Amino acid sequence: MSQNVKKNVKLPPQALDFEEAVLGAILIDKNAMAEVGDMLTPEVFYKDAHKEIFKATETLFQNAEPIDVMTVKNQLQQNKKLKVCGGAHYLAELTNKVISSANIEYHCRIIVQKHIQRELISTCSEIIQNSYDESTDAIELLDQVESKIFAISEGNIKKKYLNASKLIQNAIKEIERIGNLPSGLSGIPSGFHEIDEITSGWQNSELIIIAARPGMGKTAFVLSMARNISVDYKMPIAIFSLEMSSIQLITRLITSETGLNQQKLRSGNLEPHEWTQLHHKIKQIEQANIFIDDTPALSIFDLRAKCRRLQSEHGIKMIIIDYLQLMSTRDHKGNREQEISHISRSLKSIAKELEVPVIALSQLSRAVENRPGKRPVLSDLRESGAIEQDADIVSFIYRPEYYQISEWDYPPAGPTEGEAEFIIAKHRNGPTDNTRLRFEKQQIKFSNLSDNIYSTGIESGINQDLNTDDQM
């Protein structure tokens, strides 16, 4: 019976021969560590002794010291791990197991694969155990499962803390990388030059709130920005529209790109030259990597799952939510303010997890309407102060023309017609400032003030004045 038990015992997936070969190659080849250092961590090794030996080689490599049997032996002695690793004799044995480091990359991949298998077994065992627990919330468990599996698939398994020295090195490398960029932007460019100068582009892992009263053009702004990012900079982005259908959004994009009358597009009543103009102008939009989801009352749980999938399959660089107050949580036990707080915290966590900027539109309270000049401030954020707290950037869109204010109240003076103000009221990692944009009512889009206004002889005749404020 004891023999049958032994037969049924399964050892975790492992590749000890390959672990020995990799460590031996590192000990005999001074360039081996540079080749595989970014592929391996001590945790991927199955044998504890191998973990400690690799830690020692990592320390030597980071300190720019030579790696061989003697230096690794000395480092293990300093770490007080030489004895548990089998002593100098075992290190010498490792070097005898390999002739060269020619296949080291292939061997590393096998080690990593075995590690992933072990992590999957461990995760699945935990899932099974938690699933049998009657007190476990099934929805929360599902979210945890997806998060853990996603972490394994991305190679971010049990991410450890980094010391200050390593972080400083990474920060310097990032500064050097930014300095070599032709745009000089460290983040995702919006296509609006003055905004990009203030923000250095939308930064990864940041939550950006763009708030305004109805009619200011929140949706028009993010669609203009989405077009700039996906068409001009060839970056895939995701838009979650909780207010407008995907067809309505695409129609908006077509309107802004072609300059055609939106009402005519809705009715399909176009002249022959307008059809020609339409097919010619939409080619760029057709090729753009814009992924639109118009699920109404989207929950944070569903949003996170969809974003993970989009990043895994399409490598999205930015997430846009239109708009925050229309989102929901699956737990409605608290009041609306608590729910909004939970949503804003979750959006920030999604930004950090996926390492992309998350831009969420938000409504402002009616207090703006009672204020002279109607310019919004941070206290106007609707329903929760947590939005201001969680956000890295809080910005506002303000069009005085909408309120029949004809002149700007600060320099440079001039008429407000066809212009908007983009106000950065909070900027956690940079300055706050205001800048002006052009708002093209007929095309329902924003552009730089320095850009040429979109018009040609034929097209200006096609476009007619429409009151689109109530659609924005």
For the chain, how long is the longest CA-to-CA vector? 93
Give the list of residues 6+ apart from residue 359 with CB closer than 8 angstroms, or none.
202, 208, 209, 210, 222, 318, 319, 320, 321
In 52-205, beta strands by DSSP E: none
Are residue 222 and residue 104 in the same domain, yes or no? Answer: no
Q: Classify residue 171: in a domain, yes or no.
A: no
Dist CA 130 CA 150 (whole Å)? 18
Give the range among 262-271, 314-323, 383-392 with minimum mean pLDDT.
262-271
Instruction: Locate 30 and state its tokens.
Output: 């001074």
Domain of 280: which CATH number? Answer: 3.40.50.300
Q: Classify residue 172: in a domain, yes or no.
A: no
Give the list of residues 6+ apart from residue 282 with CB closer than 8 angstroms, or none.
254, 257, 258
Asked if residue 299 lies in contact with residue 293, where contact means CB atoms within 8 angstroms, the answer is no
Are residue 271 and residue 391 in the same domain, yes or no? Answer: yes
Are residue 208 and residue 333 in the same domain, yes or no? Answer: yes
Give mean pLDDT, residues 41-65.
87
Are residue 202 and residue 272 in the same domain, yes or no? Answer: yes
For residue 246, CA distances in Å to 57, 240, 270 come to: 54, 9, 22
Q: Which amino acid, 109?
A: R
Question: In terms of pLDDT, which residue wins out, 134 or 239?
Answer: 239
* Mean per-residue pLDDT of the chain: 80
Are residue 211 and residue 330 in the same domain, yes or no? Answer: yes
Give mean pLDDT, residues 222-249.
87
Dist CA 190 CA 181 (whole Å)? 16
Asked if residue 227 lies in contact with residue 256, where contact means CB atoms within 8 angstroms, the answer is yes
Segment 129-136 long-range contacts (CB within 8 Å, at least 24 positions apart): none
- Total domains in the chain come to 2
Asked if residue 30 lies in contact with residue 37, where contact means CB atoms within 8 angstroms, the answer is no
In 288-336, beta strands by DSSP E: 290-293, 318-322
Asked if residue 183 lies in contact with residue 232, where contact means CB atoms within 8 angstroms, the answer is no
Query: What's the pLDDT tens digit per position in 296-307?
Result: 878 887 788 788
Q: Classify residue 240: in a domain, yes or no.
A: yes
Are residue 148 and residue 199 in the same domain, yes or no? Answer: no
Q: Say yes or no to pLDDT of 279 above 80.
A: no
Query: Three-state SS for 61?
Result: helix
Q: Classify residue 174: in a domain, yes or no.
A: no
Instruction: Locate 468 and state its tokens.
Output: 């689109």
pTM of the model: 0.64
Dist CA 187 CA 317 (whole Å)? 10
Query: Three-state SS for 422?
Result: strand
At residue 61, what are phi and psi to the nearest 5 degrees?
-65, -45
Are residue 229 and residue 148 in the same domain, yes or no? Answer: no
Domain of 55: which CATH number? Answer: 1.10.860.10
Are residue 99 and residue 191 in the same domain, yes or no? Answer: no
Q: Say yes or no to pLDDT of 180 above 60.
A: yes
Are residue 62 and residue 111 in the same domain, yes or no? Answer: yes
Active site residues: 243
What range does the domain containing 105 cover?
8-157
Q: Classify residue 166: in a domain, yes or no.
A: no
Give the list of residues 6+ apart from residue 161 with CB closer than 8 angstroms, or none.
none
Dist CA 420 CA 195 (whole Å)? 13
Q: Classify residue 177: in a domain, yes or no.
A: no
**Residue 238's pLDDT band (cuts 50, 70, 90):** very high
Q: Which of 350, 324, 379 is nearest to 206 (CA)?
A: 350
Are residue 18 and residue 93 in the same domain, yes or no? Answer: yes
Are residue 86 and residue 223 in the same domain, yes or no? Answer: no
Instruction: Locate 355 and state its tokens.
Output: 């390492």
Q: Classify residue 168: in a domain, yes or no.
A: no
Q: Classify residue 454: in a domain, yes or no.
A: yes
Provide the terminal-to-terminal Cα distance of the chain, rounded to the nearest Å: 76
Question: In terms of pLDDT, which residue wins out, 443 or 261?
Answer: 443
Are residue 150 and residue 268 in the same domain, yes or no? Answer: no
